[in-house]
């Protein structure tokens, strides 16, 4: 008995965080998992039951299309964000510490912006009266201003805006730890700056870049407001439908089933990225 | 003909001059060490020669051609970096063959050349290993092999041995020197270690505060330092501030020290100067009445191979070094005499 | 080459800054219309944020939630980070993973989890539910910053203070806590800013009863336009710049974000 208390004593510090995380993070997931098998109840949110109908329901052409839209949009946003972020982050890490800090403050400020604000700002920027349409008219590219939103392009732009600062901050640690003499060595051996970037920097960062792609993919997969603000109803993603089912259709069991499914997809991808990262280091 | 001519080269960062008006000629096939304390501008000068930094002023020519504006990747130089900068995603052979690949050499020729270079640096059989599997000394040699792969016009090395332990370092110094003699490639090495510079170089360039302090063979620099900085940076020197009171007579603190024709004078009779004497030319005598100076023993340490005695004279400490068998019979706090052996001394400008 | 590099950086920065410039322009419009370039100059939409009772109420909710959530997040993260730092066992690693997990999943999943949880235990729609949900959801940030800070603490410092007679409590109070404090403050600030901007969890847990600024903006966006939305957005951007700018000014932001060394 005394040995047990003695052994527990060393772990006392972890008790409070453990309790908080289990009660408020693990338990909600367990409840959500069980609710995904419950049946819907119009009066009281849900009824305990065990049915697979919530899962079988989205094996339909409609939800198949929704899933495909979500995955394609996020994949495209991830690829664009990371392609821009890799050279951008590389340049930032080559700046002096002072300028790096300025860049990071700016990026963090953009990163922390609410999806609501990003959606509002881009819908304004792409609108007829206050948007780049006015700029195009001013420089003579267009006759009269027009609205560019809602459209698939606007949504993709918004998702890229959401993902870009995230991608930069995921790439930043690895790129800033890159020995500056490595690209210099490539140059001394005869590689032009562009060639040394593709020959040496990119291959060395392969795992980090894969990780960034997956993280941005998962992150934009969770976008809920942008598809509603910048896209058309056919661009609504799984996240939008989850919220829609939970709040407006009051079908929590079905929302839970979709969330569990989305989580499994995300977890699988995060798992793959960590495994890839570990295999190298 | 790959003589390197550095003409009034300057590098400024804002108002700070990292390299300040350096002019040096490096003859074809010579082995040159850029020597100086950290922050003296030696690495910046090497990077300017490499083309990794742009000149703020002056010019650089190699083999008679102006290289001031040639980008680093078109200079056809070889370089070994302080961190070595081996590419972790390539094998040993791929690292060495990288510059050949860029130049469009076929895969089989690249492989053959990589193996040849690995033989040259005495590392056969490791061609297909990953960089992280190598020891420090092996990495060092692979970096040297990679730098030599294209038969560079000039071979540059930035503190190449600083990360290695003392024994391996000495060993590689000798090897590097032999390799350079065999290949005859013009070589410039940056180091802060004066022993390393002395043991490898044909010519040592001593730098301080962005400026060249002295250029010469290792023996010249040791025997005839140009100023007090060089005298103290290359080995240890006792510096006595006084005046040249006769054609061969130096007066320090009212005591006369007679010089010989072999001593080197940088000042005229009557001028103030500093007498620089190496510790091995100072003899401590048990009788304070003997010798030119006298003082009190402040510290004695027996290093096995030799004995160092520190004697307080006025407000300076004079260091004497002698072999254990000629150790004088003195102990701490004794009053002793000091005999300055002239003939290898220098009188520097004050 | 260098010109190309700067041009590229500039284009990316413009892309990131463009929406912010536009909402700033819109927020100072004289008429109650969505116009850019702005017509006239007026700060009345900023005044309205602090005067109109519905906006002021949302602002108050947002700040209360953000402060509460930051406190909870740091209170969980500090002992957890200390535990992981001291033990470095498999178990400690698993706990750390649990603390990082909320941030790696799409937030909509956690949001639904929280919603169902609060419905089950009966606090659905309460502001406390939002505070706790945000605190747990954003615990990753102080956990990472404090862990980074502890990583830099030389373990010999603890041994040194032991030899000078300090017990566990004194070591914590006089050595570890002061060294970890800047990282706690950074973590607190990160949670504060992100909680202020968080929409989906706040919406799903108590969106109709404890309306926060992002929820209010979105609701306004649905039912028409008012320039106050723009002034709130500018207010958010400025808050973020001030908070992260202070961290950069008084701390080492590159290191906090994982750089090992900054150049020169």
Question: Per-residue pLDDT tens for A98-110?
Answer: 888 999 999 988 8
Q: How far apart are CA A256 and CA B25, in angstroms?
A: 78
The answer, yes or no, to whether residue A235 has pLDDT greater than 70, is: yes
Report CA-CA distances (Å) from A70 to A55, A151, B317, C58: 18, 15, 80, 32
Report chain A residues whose CB lies below 8 A from the CB of B162: none
CA distance B215 to C190: 57
CB contacts of B72 in chain A (<8 Å) are 184, 187-188
SS3 content of chain A, % helix, strand, coil (to 5): 75, 0, 20
Q: What ipTM goes with this model?
A: 0.83
- Indicate whether C36 belongs to any domain: no
Q: What percentage of chain C carries pLDDT values higher than 90?
A: 22
Mutate to test the interface with A, among C22, C104, C116 (most CBs of A within 10 A): C116
Classify B312 as helix, strand or coil. Answer: strand
CA-nearest residue to A19 within chain C is C76
- Give the whole-angstrom CA distance, residue C189 versus residue A108: 12
Please name the member of C16, C101, C260 whose beta carbon is closest to the beta carbon of A177.
Answer: C260
Interchain contact, A186 vs B83, CB within 8 Å: no
Does residue B344 share a domain with residue B214?
A: no
Same domain, B61 and B167: yes
Q: Are residues B145 and B76 in the same domain?
A: yes
Q: How far is C118 from chain A (nearest CA, A)?
A: 8
Domains held by chain B: number: 2
The pLDDT, as a whole number, for residue A9 is 65
CA distance C257 to C245: 14
Range of the domain at B116: 4-228
pLDDT value at residue A278: 64
Q: What is d(CA A157, CA A151) in angstroms, rounded to the nearest whole number? A: 10
SS3 B131: helix
C26 falls within a domain: no
Mutation pick from A181, A183, A185 vs chain B, by most beta carbons of B within 10 Å, is A185
CA-CA distance, B15 to C262, in Å (whole number)?
22
Minimum-distance CB partner of B81 among A181, A192, A203: A181
Mutate to test the interface with C, among A82, A85, A108, A224 (most CBs of C within 10 A): A108
> What pLDDT score does C262 carry?
40
Show the domain range for C251: 51-256
Contact A95 C254 (CB under 8 A): no
Number of structural domains (chain C) is 1
Instruction: Report the pLDDT value the prediction gives residue B42, as an integer from 0 to 100.
Output: 92
Same domain, B44 and B156: yes
Contact A113 C199 (CB under 8 A): no
The single residue listed with the structure tokens 């939103």 is A149
**Partner residue opposite B102 with nearest CB, options A182, A189, A204:** A189
- Strands of B57-62's sheet, edge to edge? B16-26, B4-13, B57-62, B65-66
Asked whether the beta carbons of residue C98 and residue A26 sit closer than 8 angstroms, the reply is yes
Q: Tell me what pLDDT residue A139 has.
A: 73
Q: Three-class SS of residue B6?
A: strand
Mean pLDDT of C176-201: 88
Maximum mean pLDDT: which of A4-8, C125-129, C153-157: C125-129
Instruction: Say yes or no: A51 contacts chain B, CB-CB below 8 A.
Output: no
Burial of residue B219, with CB atoms counted within 10 A of its CB: 0-12 exposed, 13-18 middle, 19 or more buried: exposed
Which of B83, B85, B103 best probes binding to A when mutated, by most A CB atoms within 10 angstroms? Answer: B85
Residue C99: closest C-alpha in chain A: A21
How many other C-beta atoms are found inside a 10 Å radius of the C-beta of residue A280? 10
Residues 90-119 of B with CB under 8 A from A: 98-99, 102-103
Predicted confidence (pLDDT) at residue A18 exceeds the cutoff of 60: yes
Interface A-B, measured as beta-carbon pairs within 8 A, has a size of 64
Q: What is the mean pLDDT of residues A42-62?
A: 73
Same domain, B93 and B193: yes
CB contact under 8 A, C258 and A176: yes
Answer with the residue of higher pLDDT: A110 or A8: A110
pLDDT in tens, A71-100: 889 999 999 999 999 999 999 998 888 888
C264 has a pLDDT exceeding 50: no
Contacting partners of chain B (3+ CB pairs under 8 A) = A
Q: Give the integer Cα–Cα distance in Å for C99 and B103.
A: 51
Q: Which residues of A touch C36 (CB under 8 A)?
A: 124, 129-131, 134
State the number of CA atoms in the 13 A half-sphere of A273 facing the CB: 19
Contacts of B81 in chain A (CB under 8 A): 181, 184-185
CATH number of the structural domain spanning residue C223:
1.10.3720.10
Nearest chain A alpha carbon to B52: A184
Please give, rounded to a whole number of angstroms, the shortest distance from the CA of C30 to a CA of chain A: 14
| Mean pLDDT, residues A158-186 taken together | 90
Q: Kindly give, in sequence order, each residue whose CB lies less than 8 Å from that of residue A253, ignoring residues fewer than 6 positions away.
A: A35, A36, A37, A38, A39, A40, A46, A54
Alpha-carbon gap, residue B8 to B57, rounded angstroms: 7
Residue with tokens 């401590």: B284
Taking the C-alpha atoms of residue B50 and residue B153, their distance in angstroms, rounded to an integer, is 11
Write out chain C residues lying below 8 Å of A159, CB-based: none
Is there a contact between C197 and A105 if contact means CB atoms under 8 Å apart? no
The minimal CB distance from A185 to the residues B74, B76, B79 is found for B79
Record: contact C16-A31, CB cut-off 8 A: no
Strands B238-246 and B272-277: antiparallel
- Quick check: C263 pLDDT over 50? no
Using a CB-CB cut-off of 8 Å, the residues of chain B touching A195 are 102
Per-residue pLDDT of chain B (350 residues; tens, 9 = 90+): 568 999 999 999 988 999 998 999 999 999 999 999 988 999 999 999 999 999 999 999 998 899 998 988 989 999 999 988 999 888 999 999 999 988 888 999 999 999 999 988 888 889 899 999 998 889 999 999 999 998 899 999 999 888 788 888 888 888 889 999 999 999 999 999 888 888 899 999 999 999 999 999 998 888 888 888 898 888 888 898 888 888 888 988 888 888 888 888 888 888 888 999 999 999 999 988 888 888 999 999 988 889 999 999 988 899 999 998 888 888 888 899 998 888 888 888 87
Among A94, A184, A188, the strongest candidate for a mutation testing the B interface, having the largest count of B CBs within 10 A, is: A188
Across the interface, of A179, A195, A199, the residue whose CB is closest to B85 is: A179
CA atoms of A36 and A254, how far apart (whole Å): 6
Six-digit token string for B85 = 């900068």
CB contact (8 A) between residue A190 and residue B88: no
Does the beta-carbon distance from A114 to C197 stay under 8 Å? yes
**In this structure, are B315 and B221 located in the same domain?**
no
Partner residue facing B72 (CB), from A179, A187, A204 = A187
C258 vs A111, which has greater pLDDT? A111
Instruction: Give the mean model confidence (pLDDT) for residues C25-43.
Output: 75
Tell me how far apart the alpha carbons of residues C126 and C137 are, in angstroms, rounded to a whole number. 17
How many distinct helices (H) and strands (E) make up chain C? 14, 0
Residues B72 and B117 in one domain: yes
- Here the tokens at position A224 are 């809920």
Q: Which pair of structure tokens corresponds to residue B7? A: 């003409």
| Residue of C75, C105, C248 with shortest CB distance to A263 | C105
Choosing among A12, A23, A121, which should be mutated to test the C contact, i.e. which has the most C CBs within 10 A? A121
Using the Cα atoms of residue C155, residue C156, residue C157 and residue C159 in order, give the sign of their dihedral: positive
Q: Which of B210, B228, B246 is the last residue of a domain?
A: B228
The mean pLDDT value of chain C amounts to 85
From residue B103, give the alpha-carbon distance in Å to each of A137, B100, B187.
50, 5, 23
> How much is the pLDDT for A280?
53
Confirm whether C109 is domain-assigned.
yes
DSSP character string of A56-73:
HHTSSHHHHHHHHHHHHH
Largest CA distance in chain C: 71
Q: Which residues of C touch A110 (CB under 8 A)?
A: 16, 20
Residue A111 confidence class, pLDDT cut points 50, 70, 90:
confident
Residue A19, Cα to own-chain centre: how many angstroms?
28
Res. A281: pLDDT tops 50: no
- Say if the Cβ atoms of C79 and A17 lie within 8 Å: yes
Indicate which CATH number applies to the domain containing B280: 2.40.50.140
Report how far residue B298's alpha carbon sits from residue A125's, in angstroms, rounded to the nearest whole number. Answer: 80
Q: B141 and B283: one domain?
A: no
DSSP letter for each residue of B45-67: HHHHHHTSS--SEEEEEETTEE-
Beta bridge pairs of residue A254: none
Q: Is A181 on the interface with B (CB under 8 A)?
A: yes
Of the two residues B85 and A128, the one the predictor is more confident about is B85
B83/A contact by beta carbon, under 8 A: yes
**A61-280 fold:** MetI-like fold (1.10.3720)
pLDDT: which is higher, A136 or C232: C232
Residues B246 and B140 reside in one and the same domain: no
Per the CB < 8 Å rule, is A172 touching C257? yes
Which partners does chain C have (≥3 C-beta pairs < 8 Å)?
A
In the block, residue with structure tokens 């990288």: B98
- Chain A CB contacts of C102 under 8 Å are 25
Distance of alpha carbon A130 from its chain centroid, rounded?
Answer: 28
Chain centroid, CA A128 distance in Å: 29
Range A160-181 average pLDDT? 89
CA distance to partner chain A, nearest, from residue C257 (Å):
7
Q: Please tell me the distance in Å from A191's CA to the nearest CA on chain B.
A: 6
- Dihedral Cα A206, A208, A213, A217, nearest 10 deg: 150
Distance from the Cα of A58 to chain C's closest Cα (Å) equals: 17
Task: Quote the crossing angle between the two packed helices C177-197 and C127-137, to the nearest 10°.
Answer: 120
- Domain segments of chain A: what residues? 61-280
Please check whether residue B98 is in contact with residue B150, taking contact to mean a CB–CB distance below 8 angstroms: no
In angstroms, what separates the C-alpha of B206 from chain A's closest C-alpha?
Answer: 25
Residues B256, B218 share a domain: no
> Which tokens sit at A6?
């003695």
Q: What is the largest CA-CA distance in chain B?
A: 79
Testing the interface with A: which of C113, C131, C144 to mutate, by most A Cβ within 10 A? C113
Backbone angles phi, psi at C175, to 5 degrees: -115, -60
Euclidean distance between CA atoms C237 and A24, whole angstroms: 30
DSSP state of B130: B
Determine the Cα–Cα distance for residues B254 and B294; give it in Å rounded to an integer: 12
Contact A21 C136 (CB under 8 A): yes
Domain termination site, one of B228, B254, B270: B228
- The pLDDT of residue A223 is 86
Q: Name beta bridge partners: B307.
A: B302, B322
Domain for residue C173, yes or no?
yes
Q: Does residue C248 lie in a domain region? A: yes
Q: CB–CB of B312/B296 below 8 Å?
A: yes
């Amino acid at each position: 008995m005394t040995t047990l208390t003695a052994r527990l004593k060393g772990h006392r510090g972890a008790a409070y965080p453990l309790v908080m995380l289990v009660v408020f993070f693990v338990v909600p997931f367990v409840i959500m998992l069980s609710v995904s098998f419950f049946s819907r109840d119009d009066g009281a949110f849900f009824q305990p039951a065990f049915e697979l109908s919530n899962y079988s329901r989205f094996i339909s052409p409609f939800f198949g299309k929704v899933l495909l839209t979500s995955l394609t949009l996020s994949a495209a946003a991830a690829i664009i964000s990371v392609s821009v972020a890799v050279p951008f982050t590389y340049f930032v890490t080559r700046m002096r510490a002072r300028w790096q800090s300025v860049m990071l403050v700016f990026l963090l400020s953009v990163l922390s912006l609410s999806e609501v604000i990003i959606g509002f700002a881009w819908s304004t920027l792409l609108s007829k009266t206050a948007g780049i349409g006015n700029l195009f008219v001013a420089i003579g590219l267009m006759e009269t201003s027009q609205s560019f939103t809602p459209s698939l392009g606007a949504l993709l732009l918004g998702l890229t805006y959401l993902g870009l600062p995230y991608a930069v901050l995921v790439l930043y640690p690895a790129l800033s730890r890159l020995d500056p003499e490595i690209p210099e060595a490539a140059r001394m051996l005869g590689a032009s700056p562009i060639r040394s970037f593709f020959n040496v920097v990119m291959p060395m960062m392969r795992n980090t870049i894969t990780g960034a792609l997956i993280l941005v993919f998962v992150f934009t997969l969770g976008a809920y407001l942008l598809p509603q603000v910048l896209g058309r109803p056919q661009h609504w993603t799984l996240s939008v439908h989850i919220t829609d089912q939970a709040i407006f259709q009051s079908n929590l069991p079905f929302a839970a089933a979709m969330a569990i499914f989305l989580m499994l997809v995300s977890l699988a991808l995060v798992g793959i990225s960590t495994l890839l990262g570990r295999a190298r280091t | 003909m790959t003589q390197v001519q550095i003409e009034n080269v300057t590098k400024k960062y804002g108002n700070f001059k990292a390299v300040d008006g350096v002019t040096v000629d490096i003859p074809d096939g010579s082995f040159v060490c850029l020597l100086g304390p950290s922050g003296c501008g030696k690495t910046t000068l090497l990077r300017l020669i490499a083309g990794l930094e742009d000149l703020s002023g002056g010019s650089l020519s190699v083999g008679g051609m102006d290289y001031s504006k040639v980008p680093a990747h078109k200079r056809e130089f070889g370089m070994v970096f302080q961190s070595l900068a081996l590419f972790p995603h390539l094998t040993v052979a791929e690292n060495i063959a990288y510059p050949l690949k860029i130049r469009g050499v076929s895969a089989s020729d690249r492989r053959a050349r990589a193996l040849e270079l690995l033989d040259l640096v005495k590392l056969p059989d490791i061609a297909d290993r990953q960089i992280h599997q190598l020891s420090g000394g092996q990495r060092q040699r692979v970096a040297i092999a990679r730098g030599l792969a294209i038969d560079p016009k000039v071979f540059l090395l930035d503190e190449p041995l600083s990360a290695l332990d003392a024994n391996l370092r000495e060993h590689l110094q000798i090897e590097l020197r032999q390799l350079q003699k065999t290949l005859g490639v013009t070589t410039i090495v940056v180091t802060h270690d004066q022993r390393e510079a002395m043991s490898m170089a044909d010519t040592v360039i001593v730098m301080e505060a962005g400026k060249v302090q002295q250029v010469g063979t290792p023996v010249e620099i040791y025997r005839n330092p140009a100023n007090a900085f060089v005298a103290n940076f290359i080995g240890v020197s006792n510096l006595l501030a006084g005046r040249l009171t006769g054609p061969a007579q130096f007066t320090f603190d009212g005591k006369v020290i007679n010089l010989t024709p072999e001593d080197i004078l940088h000042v005229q009779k009557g001028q103030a100067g500093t007498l620089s004497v190496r510790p091995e030319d100072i003899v401590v005598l048990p009788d304070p009445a003997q010798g030119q100076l006298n003082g009190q023993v402040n510290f004695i340490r027996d290093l096995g191979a030799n004995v160092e005695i520190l004697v307080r004279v006025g407000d300076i400490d004079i260091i004497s070094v002698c072999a254990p068998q000629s150790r004088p019979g003195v102990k701490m706090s004794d009053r002793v005499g000091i005999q300055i052996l002239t003939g290898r001394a220098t009188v520097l400008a004050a | 080459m260098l010109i190309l590099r700067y041009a590229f950086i500039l284009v990316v920065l413009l892309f990131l800054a463009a929406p912010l410039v536009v909402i700033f322009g819109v927020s100072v419009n004289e008429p109650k219309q969505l116009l850019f370039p702005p017509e006239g100059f007026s700060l009345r939409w900023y005044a309205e944020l602090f005067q109109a009772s519905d906006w002021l109420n949302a602002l108050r909710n947002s700040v209360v939630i953000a402060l509460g959530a930051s406190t909870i997040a740091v209170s969980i993260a500090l002992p957890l980070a200390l535990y992981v730092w001291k033990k470095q066992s498999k178990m400690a690693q698993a706990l750390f993973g649990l603390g990082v997990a909320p941030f790696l999943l799409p937030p909509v999943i956690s949001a639904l989890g929280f919603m169902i949880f609060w419905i089950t235990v009966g606090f659905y729609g309460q502001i406390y539910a939002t505070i706790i949900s945000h605190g747990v959801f954003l615990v990753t940030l102080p956990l990472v910053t404090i862990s980074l800070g502890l990583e830099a603490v030389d373990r010999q410092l603890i041994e040194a203070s032991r030899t000078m007679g300090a017990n566990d409590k004194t070591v914590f109070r006089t050595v570890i806590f002061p060294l970890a404090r800047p990282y706690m403050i950074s973590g607190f600030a990160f949670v504060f800013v992100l909680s202020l901007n968080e929409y989906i969890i706040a919406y799903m847990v108590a969106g109709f009863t404890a309306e926060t600024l992002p929820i209010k903006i979105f609701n306004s966006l649905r039912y028409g336009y008012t320039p106050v939305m723009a002034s709130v957005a500018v207010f958010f951007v400025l808050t973020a710049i001030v908070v992260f700018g202070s961290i950069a000014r008084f701390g080492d932001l590159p290191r906090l974000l994982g750089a090992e060394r900054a150049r020169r």
